[in-house]
Amino acid sequence: MKIVFLHHANVCKGGIERMLTTKANLLAEQMGWEVVLLTYEQNGEPFPYPLSSKVRCVDLGVRLYSAYKAPLLTRYFKKRKLRRQLMEAIRDFLASQKADIIVCTDKDAHELNALFKAHTTEKLLIEAHTGMVDHEMQAQQTNNHVRRSIAKNDLWRLKKVVSCFDVLIALTADDARCWQPYVRTVVIPNSLPQYPDQPADLSVEKKHVIAVGRLDYQKGQDLLLTAWKKVEKQHPDWHLDIFGDGNEKDSLNAQRSTLNLQTVSLHSATTDIYSEYMKSDLLVCSSRWEAFGLVIIEAMSCGIPIVSFDCDNGPRNIIQDGEDGLLARNNDTDDLADKIICLIENKEVRQAMGQQAHLHAVRFKEESILMRYVHLYEQL
């Protein structure tokens, strides 16, 4: 079988890039399939994760991002020209390949439309690494009427073009239901990069709470700092460590100073996050919305319980409330603080939930998740 994975660029050390590399390596090495990673904005940058020599990499050299550097009045026309170039480049490439399946990991309506118009007999799949809720929130979170109108129009285009594809792979059952009116959906969650045989020892109280994620509006670290004010007042000997980079770092530091928080540390993103989970007693997810929540299953695999907002729609599809973690009312910082305090003050409950978290995370082990992809590809 010959399979082509289309992703605009494999540059960031993110979940999409890690999953893509892992799948490509497995299919090439273990299944013996012919695998191509097709990009169009790689621009000579190295891949962020180790890639098998059996996986072929091709970059089409169509830099769509360059349109945003153009003056506002000419940007629209440059975008149209570049999208046309992308469609032609994909068409020329596919004509010489005779691939069986093409998997697209981007969900931009224009790029998906270019792929659909360029393909012939190949089966077309979309991997929805971001949920429909991400697109809906983009339209809701701005007060700019023009931007809101553009976001709504983009979502309308996306719903229209996905109906042309054979399958959309969603990360959760909730997200799959959102897409089902438009396209056939299959649920395959993210997999764990590793599953520690020995979970964290929660019998030894470390008095550390961890939060992990890029520093932006979606991840809600500002809500977490507000909640932590209440936690710190009652438990000043406990510490909160936030790991991540992003455009809200300065504002979060300012908020920490305004709230006079003494037990909060902001750290840059680390490639050794598992060792940080092991040093912690629990993880907090304060996201306003989440398509999945990779950090949740990572922390669970390390045997630490989770406190999370019950946001749309990832956490509730992973956390079994009261068994391996606690769900707080969405955006309710008082309730989030109370749930954190509950686990701080109940060591035995924390330990029991950590044990259950480690056991429940088994379902996300890499081997079983990747074979679900193989089964789907073979069906198609």
What pLDDT shows up at residue 139?
A: 67
Query: Of 306, 222, 312, 317, nearest to 264 (Cα)?
Result: 222
Q: What is the pLDDT along the chain (380 residues), one digit of tens a residue?
A: 999 999 999 988 777 888 899 899 999 999 999 999 999 999 999 988 899 999 999 999 999 888 888 887 888 889 889 999 999 999 999 999 889 999 998 878 888 999 999 999 999 999 988 888 877 777 677 677 777 787 788 888 899 999 999 999 999 999 999 999 999 999 999 999 899 999 999 999 999 999 999 999 999 999 999 999 999 999 999 999 999 999 999 999 999 999 999 999 999 988 889 999 999 999 999 999 998 999 999 999 999 999 999 998 899 999 999 999 999 999 999 999 999 999 999 999 999 999 999 999 999 998 889 899 999 999 99
Q: What was the pLDDT predicted at 36?
A: 97
**Taken in order 166, 172, 173, 178, is the CA torsion positive or negative?**
negative
Q: Are 304 and 310 in contact (CB under 8 A)?
A: no
H or E segment and range at residue 327 = strand 325-328
pLDDT, residue 147, reads 73
| DSSP secondary structure letters along 150-214 | HHHHHHHHHHHHHTTSSEEEESSHHHHHHHTTTS-EEE-----S---SS---TTS---EEEEES-
- Going 372 to 377 to 379 to 380, the CA torsion angle's sign is positive
Q: Are the C-beta atoms of residues 104 and 6 closer than 8 Å to each other?
A: yes
Residue 303 phi, psi dihedral angles, 5° rounding: 80, 30
- Cβ 271 vs Cβ 13: under 8 Å: yes
Give the pLDDT confidence score for residue 142 in this predicted structure: 67
